[in-house]
Chains A and B, each alone.
Chain A
Amino acid sequence: MRPATLLRCAALALLVSFLLAPQRFAPLFAPLTQYGAPPIYDQGNLLSLALAHLGTVCLAAAASTLLAVTLGILVTRESGREFLPLSRTLVNIGQTFPPVAVLAVTVPLVGFGERPTLIALFAYGLLPIFENTIVGLQTCPPAVLEAASGMGMSARQRLFKVELPLAMPLILEGVRLSLVINVGTATIGSTVAAKGLGEVIIAGLLSNNTAFILQGGLVTGLMAILLYDGMAAFERRLLRSVRIE
């Protein structure tokens, strides 16, 4: 566990120091450029791009978590059961939609910029969370549910005090999955003029500057890994605190 923690801190330190003072890393990237092209992205502030990227991803993930968990609760209640088979199928079909296609189809409807990216990320992020919410709620041990009812809990109390806490690890795993997928997918948003790290990569592709591509890719990748890792640590802590004996 110790080397892992060390690696984690090193990755975070590297990311933060690069974003705060990218010019200090210029000698590292200089061999990758040709004809005296700038080794560090110079058409915008890397830190603000990274924050915009993260902001878009988190906003979309928050919205999809809210909707997906609500829908997951609804279709697992007695009154929503008839929607369950359909919603399962839809989740399966939805996952076959490539994110780029979702993005491309959204652009004509809402215009260029952040909005199509937010919508595509939101729609794409729904699926893993929804699926995990349903599985989590459906796999609650019946004995526990009966015990809760036996204690005189109402359906609402049972949901909030027993079922959701028990399903929480799986729900959070879904959120984590969709966050990580979205950090990568959001880079494609830059093809439709959304502010984010994809801008750096695309600038590199357009000007044939590998240094830019590598910067954008590494920062995005590091962000995804750290998010994944941070969420996993958060889940472990939460799991310890809500475990039902």
Chain B
Amino acid sequence: MTEATLPRTARFDRLGTLLGVTGVAALAGLSFVLVKANRIVPGIPRSLLEAAPPLAGWACLACLALAATAALFVFNARLRLGAALLGIGALLLALGAAGDALTPLGNRVVRISAGPAFWVVLVCLGLMATDAITRMRPGPARRVLWLAGFIAVAVLALKSGRFDHLSVMREYAVNAERFSRELLRHVLLAAGSLGAAALAGLPLGIACYRVPRIREAILGALNVIQTIPAIALFGILMAPLGALAAAVPLAGRLGIRGIGAAPAVVALFLYSLLPIVANTVQGLRRVSRQAVEAARGMGMTPGQVLLRVEMPLALPVIVTGVRVVLVQNIGMVTVAALIGGGGLGTFVFQGIGQTAIDLVLLGAIPIVALAFSAAVVLDALVEVMDRVKQ
């Protein structure tokens, strides 16, 4: 309350102050990179100026100081976003430069990875950028464009070779071929089970809406399925699918086996049904009676009313369900790696098994990026649909 009475010039941004102080404290007290003689020994901490070449180090610090100043004193959201992105860029380039500087020529064993200070400052700058974007309230099309822009910049930066000496990229270099295969498999598993669930879930949802007697029973059963932990459901399905493959040779030849992708797809399909069925029912319920009456008055058959009026009006709610399912599936496919289903989880669990954090990150970062991108795109889609509806 007291702040509102202060003159504008004396005010500074509270969130910016918090982020700035945290970032400065992290840079001063924590290590910027960890240098490991090989993949599994503990790392030796190095600060930013110790690790990066002097020019890159000081340039990075200057950019970070600029970003911190903007965080404290600048109120224009665009400028704040620009400053935060500048800081993130400088931070990443400094990390890449540190990787180059600390790797002896031709050495393929030494591992340079980001230290806690890097992560803390990155999170602070990320929060600053997120806050600025939130304040700018970009429309759905712009959000998707920005996402595409960020992905393009990230891919170009990784291809440029500036980060090749960092440990995550070392792991990538070793696993490059497998990586693209598992990435594709991850997306296919998540999207495939979603597609199957949508095909089955939409009619089921319509049936639940039309026949209230079965609604409770079906939604109840789907709710119970949700409570079974993912790894257990994967495991439980291994037995019947294995038996099916043994009994029906054709199934086995189609790739249906006790281990591998089949139980994962079936389990993800079962998990996906609840959000789709529940949202279909919810969406249809929200369709205004007047619209339905008007359509009937125009002489539409019940089937036409459903396809031309009810379903289009319910679509935004249904797509919201699809968003939930897709984000959830992208996360759950990770666990499928435990039963030989493949996907990026392979790297995560391999990394856990070998206590190699870089391998874990090689799997985890793309998973988070995939889930995040899916959420942004589908959120934008829902918003556009809502606007069209109005």
Other-chain contact of B235, A83, A184, A205, A225 (Cβ < 8 Å): A205
A83 to B130, CA, bound (A): 12
Q: A86-B134, A97-B368 are in contact. Are A104 and B339 (CB under 8 A)?
A: no
**Contact of B235 with A210 in the complex, beta carbons under 8 Å:** yes
Report B329-344 residues with CB < 8 Å from chain A CB. 330-332, 334-335, 338-339
Most buried by B among A88, A108, A198, A216: A108
Chain B residues within 8 Å of A82, by CB: 13-15
* Residue B301 at the chain A interface, CB threshold 8 Å: no
Cross-chain contact B236 with A221 (CB below 8 angstroms)? no
Contact A221-B227, Cβ < 8 Å, known A98-B368, A191-B352: yes
Chain A residues with CB under 8 Å of B127's CB are 86, 90
B232 near A220 (CB under 8 angstroms)?
A: yes
Bound CA span A225–B221, Å = 12
The yes or no answer to A79 lying at the interface (CB within 8 A) is yes
Question: Given the complex, which residues of B lie within 8 Å of A88, measured CB to CB?
Answer: 134
Contact with B along A90-122 (1 / 0, CB 8 A): 101101111111001101100000000000000
Q: Is the CB of B236 within 8 A of A96?
A: no
Asked if A104 meets B229 with Cβ closer than 8 Å, knowing A78-B1, A214-B236, the reply is no
Contacts of B327 in A (CB 8 A): 95-96
A183 to B232, CA, bound (A): 12
Q: Does A130 contact B (CB under 8 A)?
A: no
Q: Contact: B228 with A217, CB < 8 Å?
A: yes
Q: Contact size class for B?
A: 35 or more
B352 and A104 within 8 A (CB): yes
Q: Given the interface contacts A104-B348, A107-B352, A217-B233, does A205 sit within 8 Å of B339 by beta carbon? A: yes
Contacts known (A86-B15, A104-B352, A205-B338); A213 close to B235, Cβ less than 8 A: yes
A220 to B352, CA, bound (A): 23
**Complex: A228 Cα to B351 Cα, angstroms:** 34
Closest residue of chain A to B224 (Cβ to Cβ) is A225
- How distant is B260 from chain A, measured CB to nearest CB, in Å? 13
When the two chains form their complex, are residues A213 and B232 in contact, meaning their CB atoms are under 8 A apart? Answer: yes
**Nearest A residue to B348, CB-CB:** A104
- Assess whether A101 is in contact with B134, with CB atoms less than 8 Å apart: no
A82 vs B71: C-alpha distance when bound (angstroms): 14
Q: Decide yes or no: A98 and B367 within 8 Å by CB, A79-B1, A104-B360, A191-B352 being known contacts.
A: yes
Contact check, A221 vs B224: say whether CB atoms are below 8 A apart.
yes
A98 touches B330 (CB 8 A): yes
Among B231, B238, B351, B371, the residue within 8 A (CB) of A210 is B238
Q: How far is the CA of A107 from the CA of B239 in the complex (A)?
A: 31
B383 in the interface, Cβ–Cβ < 8 Å?
Answer: no
For the complex, is B363 an interface residue (Cβ under 8 Å from A)? Answer: yes
Residue numbers in B under 8 Å from A108 (CB-CB):
355, 357, 360
Question: In the complex, A214→B232 CA distance in Å?
Answer: 7
Chain B: CB-nearest residue to A83: B15
Q: Which residues of A contact B360 (CB under 8 A)?
A: 104-105, 107-108
The count of residues in chain A whose C-beta lies closer than 8 Å to any C-beta of chain B is 47
- Tell me if B364 is interfacial: C-beta within 8 Å of chain A: yes
Chain A residues in 8 Å Cβ range of B367: 98, 101
Closest A residue to B132 by beta carbon equals: A86
Contacting A at CB under 8 A, from B134-184, are 134-135
Give the distance in Å from the alpha carbon of A196 to the alpha carbon of B63 in the complex: 47
Kindly list chain A residues whose C-beta atoms are within 8 Å of the C-beta of B239. 32, 210
Whether, in the assembled complex, A50 has its beta carbon less than 8 Å from a beta carbon of chain B, the answer is: no
**A89–B349 alpha-carbon span in the complex (Å):** 30
Whether B134 and A89, one on each chain, are in contact in the complex, defined by CB atoms closer than 8 angstroms, is yes
**B348, A217: Cβ atoms under 8 Å?**
no
Interface residues of B in 1-17 (CB under 8 A from A): 1, 3, 13-15
Complex Cα spacing A181 to B287, Å: 31
- With A86-B127, A98-B332 as known contacts, state yes or no: A216 contacts B232, CB within 8 Å: yes
A227's closest neighbor in chain B, by CB? Answer: B227
- Quick check: A105 and B15 within 8 Å, CB to CB? no
Contacts of A205 in B (CB 8 A): 231, 235, 338-339
Residues of B with C-beta under 8 A to A86:
15, 127, 130-131, 134
> Which of A88, A104, A107, A188 gathers most chain B CB within 10 Å?
A104
What CA separation (Å) do A185 and B328 show in the bound complex?
A: 12
Known contacts: A98-B368, A98-B371. The answer to whether A220 contacts B235 by CB under 8 A is no
CB distance from B330 to the nearest CB of A (A): 7
User: With an 8 A cutoff between CB atoms, is A71 at the interface?
Assistant: no
Are A183 and B227 neighbours in the complex by a CB distance under 8 Å?
yes
Closest chain A residue, CB of each to CB of B330: A98
B interface footprint on A161-188 (CB within 8 Å = 1, 0 otherwise): 0000000000000000000100111011
Q: Is the CB of B227 within 8 A of A100?
A: no
User: Distance (Å) between the CB of B217 and the closest chain A CB?
Assistant: 13
Cβ–Cβ < 8 Å partners of A96 in chain B = 327, 368, 371-372, 374-375
Q: Which residue of A lies closest to B358 (CB)?
A: A108
Q: Would you give 26 A-B contacts (Cβ < 8 Å), ordered by A? A: A79-B3, A86-B127, A86-B131, A89-B134, A98-B330, A98-B371, A100-B348, A104-B352, A104-B363, A108-B357, A183-B229, A184-B227, A184-B229, A187-B229, A187-B230, A191-B352, A201-B229, A201-B232, A205-B338, A210-B238, A213-B232, A213-B235, A216-B229, A217-B228, A217-B232, A221-B228
Known: A86-B15, A95-B375, A201-B235. 20 other contacts (CB 8 A): A85-B135, A86-B134, A95-B327, A96-B372, A101-B334, A101-B348, A101-B367, A101-B368, A104-B348, A104-B349, A104-B364, A105-B360, A180-B227, A184-B229, A187-B229, A191-B338, A205-B338, A217-B228, A217-B229, A220-B232
Q: Show the binding face of A for B, using Cβ within 8 Å.
A: 32, 78-79, 82-83, 85-86, 88-90, 92-93, 95-101, 104-105, 107-108, 180, 183-185, 187-188, 191-192, 198, 201-202, 204-205, 210, 213-214, 216-218, 220-221, 224-225, 228
